[in-house]
Amino acid sequence: MIETAQRFLMPATNDDFFAHLGPLLTLIAPTGMTEQDRTEWLRVAADTLSGVPVDLLASSCREARFEVDHPAKVLRFIGSRIKEEWDARRAHLARLERLANDAQRAPATAARALEDNSPLDMPPEEIRALSPALRSMAIGQGWLTQAQIDAADAEQSDAA
């Protein structure tokens, strides 16, 4: 899953930028724009859009052919078309990576708890916050002792 999410974030290459922005520029370039100006515009546009996934670049450039009438409007148009999807893809990958990291840590923690049912070092305020059902389960699993629960409850009574 992570590999698939990463593929959807694969950035466009310089060749991709020229392949998609070049035809667009050909359609909208003002008559006074020289070849050198066009090359510089393409270089700056590619630099500005660095990191954009190639499919988002391609689809936004296709749309821009029908919507944009001047090179100065291209980057703002592309940015507005790709921002939401690009942000969603990055957030999705980040969630998957967090889940994978959590999954790698969880088995070791769970295994220790199952193998070693010794009482936990839990602060009294956390013990007091446990429902009766959770207290009973914690005693049954060996995570807490009745003495720990009694001491936490007594500490609250003493404070009152």
Nearest residue to 51 (alpha-carbon basis) of 92, 23, 79: 79
Measured CA to CA, the distance from residue 120 to residue 54 in angstroms comes to 52
- 51 lies in the same domain as 124: no
- Domain of 36 in residue numbering reads as 2-108
The model carries a pTM of 0.64
Span 8-33, pLDDT tens digits: 999 999 999 999 999 999 999 999 99
Single-letter code of the amino acid located at 45: A
Per-residue pLDDT band at 111 (split at 50, 70, 90): low
Measured CA to CA, the distance from residue 91 to residue 8 in angstroms comes to 12
Position 122 scores a pLDDT of 86
- 35 lies in the same domain as 97: yes
- 153 lies in the same domain as 79: no
For the chain, the domain total comes to: 2
- 142 lies in the same domain as 100: no
Please name the residue ranges forming H helices in the chain: 2-7, 14-28, 35-48, 54-67, 71-115, 124-129, 132-141, 146-159
DSSP 83-103: HHHHHHHHHHHHHHHHHHHHH
